């Protein structure tokens, strides 16, 4: 399955109709509605939900805003329908993958379908799917409806794996599914650096990681304790660090658009006016949040690199420490997906710093490959997957709370990429 062919099944044909929208009475109506959804997906991917307006959509589809409201009465309904289409498409791809005879073939087929989708989007031959990272920004009942549907698809994905007959096996399959989904979502960010003709190679390298992980045969998970700077809860006076903590938690839970100044201030039981007394504005605070998160990650990486032991042990130590901070949630790391909603002039420098952190993980893997303590994998692709898993660990904190202890949760979660997610 390392050199997959284009599947005969087309998920476009299996995607259910979206939940939201007007009465679909004609092919012409559906065609225009699809054009609107395509434009909305493009805007969400480029600018986040913050940039989604009837005016921006109307400009892309060459319609007036009044015509847009004929199909979607409110912007929130348009956003929900666009995200719903993505979830439905993931469900359709999962249904195709589920037809394969074993776990390896199922994951391989799903990965190829995702890469094919992104490749066709790059070439402009398939309608774009919206990123789901801003889904948490919506208000109820739309957010709850979307999350309920997402969890239905998530459970479909869990069923692709075997070995869920014990409590630990079931817990591990949920972690596998979560990290699989996150690495597939995060592909959208970096896959553009590859030609579509290179996608079969990308598929092969990702499948190597999914099958075997980055740990060599016989390696054991034994991370040394590391402290991530600034992780202690601060119960003292309100200061800039306090606002960074509140803003980070609010954005992780509500997304960039949903993390309003009012919500951030309310997290601290303060007024909106008090916020502006301490800070110039939300974008400045968000930029500071990214800077703080990246500084904490960078310092932890460097502390691990200065440790004794193999490069696998050092990599295990830094990933364990960062995962533990995400699970603790007192002062988590900011989800990197929030940066996609930032204005372009702010997003560029932050993405560059994110790339440096990814490259540092890749460098640790290269050093480990050289000494034999890391399996021979593609270090850049593996480090992108590692970043995706660490980034998304915050969303799995309630799963972690149900494990016997935090160390067990950290071990299970990190074993997915360290030792592979496909049992022999």
Q: What is the CA radius of gyration of the chain?
A: 22
pLDDT of residue 365: 98
pLDDT of residue 217: 94
CA distance 420 to 391: 18
Residue-by-residue pLDDT tens, the chain, 424 positions: 344 333 344 454 444 444 444 444 588 888 999 999 999 999 998 888 888 999 999 999 999 999 999 999 999 999 999 999 999 999 999 999 999 999 999 999 999 999 999 999 989 999 999 999 888 889 899 999 999 999 999 999 999 998 778 888 999 999 999 999 999 999 988 999 999 999 999 999 999 999 999 999 999 999 999 999 887 655 556 777 888 888 888 888 887 777 777 888 887 787 767 666 666 667 777 788 888 999 999 999 999 999 999 999 999 999 999 999 999 978 899 887 666 666 667 777 888 888 899 999 999 999 999 999 999 999 999 999 999 999 999 999 999 999 999 999 999 999 999 999 998 7
pLDDT of residue 254: 82
CA distance 246 to 269: 11
Instruction: Give exposure, 170-205, as e/b (b: 16+ Cβ within 10 Å).
Output: ebbbbbbbbbbbbbbbbbbbbbeebebeebeebbbb
pLDDT of residue 2: 42
pLDDT of residue 235: 57
pLDDT of residue 358: 94
CA distance 415 to 90: 25
CA-based nearest residue to 368, from 330, 314, 405: 314
DSSP 150-208: HHHHHHHHHTTS---SSHHHHHHHHHHHHHHHHHHHHHHHHGGGS-GGGHHHHHHHHHH
Q: pTM for the whole thing?
A: 0.88
pLDDT of residue 236: 58
**How many of the other CB atoms lie within 10 Å of CB of 296?**
21
DSSP 343-406: -HHHHHHHHHHHHHHHHHHHHHHHHHHHHTSS-S--HHHHHHHHHHHHHHGGGGHHHHHTSSSH
CA distance 166 to 318: 29
3-state helix, strand, coil in the chain (%, to 5): 70, 0, 30
């Amino acid at each position: 399955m390392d050199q997959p062919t284009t599947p005969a099944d087309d998920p476009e044909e299996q995607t259910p109709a979206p939940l939201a929208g007007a009465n679909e009475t004609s092919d012409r109506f559906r065609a225009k509605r699809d054009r609107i959804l395509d434009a909305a997906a493009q805007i969400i991917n480029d600018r986040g939900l913050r940039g989604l307006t009837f005016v921006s959509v109307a400009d892309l589809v060459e319609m007036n805003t009044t015509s847009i409201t004929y199909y979607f009465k409110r912007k929130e309904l348009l956003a929900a329908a666009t995200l719903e289409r993505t979830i439905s498409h993931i469900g359709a791809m999962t249904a195709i993958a589920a037809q394969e005879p074993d776990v390896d073939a199922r994951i391989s087929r799903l990965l190829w379908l995702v890469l094919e989708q992104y490749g066709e989007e790059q070439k402009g031959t398939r309608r774009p799917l919206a990123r789901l990272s801003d889904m948490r920004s919506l208000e109820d009942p739309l957010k709850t409806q979307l999350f309920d549907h997402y969890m239905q698809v998530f459970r479909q994905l869990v069923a692709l794996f075997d070995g869920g007959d014990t409590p630990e096996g079931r817990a591990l399959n949920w972690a596998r599914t979560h990290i699989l989904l996150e690495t597939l979502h995060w592909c959208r960010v970096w896959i553009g650096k590859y030609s579509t003709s290179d996608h079969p190679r990308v598929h092969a390298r990702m499948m190597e990681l999914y099958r075997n992980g980055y740990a060599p045969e016989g390696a054991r998970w034994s991370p040394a304790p590391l402290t991530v700077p600034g992780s202690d809860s601060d119960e003292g006076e309100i200061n800039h660090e306090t606002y960074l903590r509140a803003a980070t938690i609010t954005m992780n839970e509500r997304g960039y658009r949903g993390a309003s100044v009012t919500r951030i201030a309310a997290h601290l039981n303060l007024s909106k006016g008090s916020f502006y007394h301490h800070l110039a504005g939300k974008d400045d605070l968000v930029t500071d949040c990214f800077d703080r998160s990246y500084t904490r990650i960078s310092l932890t990486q460097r502390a691990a690199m200065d440790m004794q032991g193999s490069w696998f042990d050092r990599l295990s130590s830094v990933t364990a420490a960062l995962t533990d901070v995400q699970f603790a949630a007192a002062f988590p790391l900011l989800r990197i997906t929030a940066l996609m909603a930032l204005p372009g002039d702010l997003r560029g420098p932050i993405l560059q710093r994110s790339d440096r952190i990814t490259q540092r993980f890749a460098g640790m893997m290269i050093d480990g490959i050289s000494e034999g303590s890391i399996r021979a994998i593609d270090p850049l692709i593996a480090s992108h997957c590692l970043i995706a898993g660490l980034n998304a660990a915050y969303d799995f904190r309630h799963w972690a709370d149900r494990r016997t202890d935090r160390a067990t949760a950290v071990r299970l979660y990190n074993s997915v990429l360290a030792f592979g997610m496909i049992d022999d």
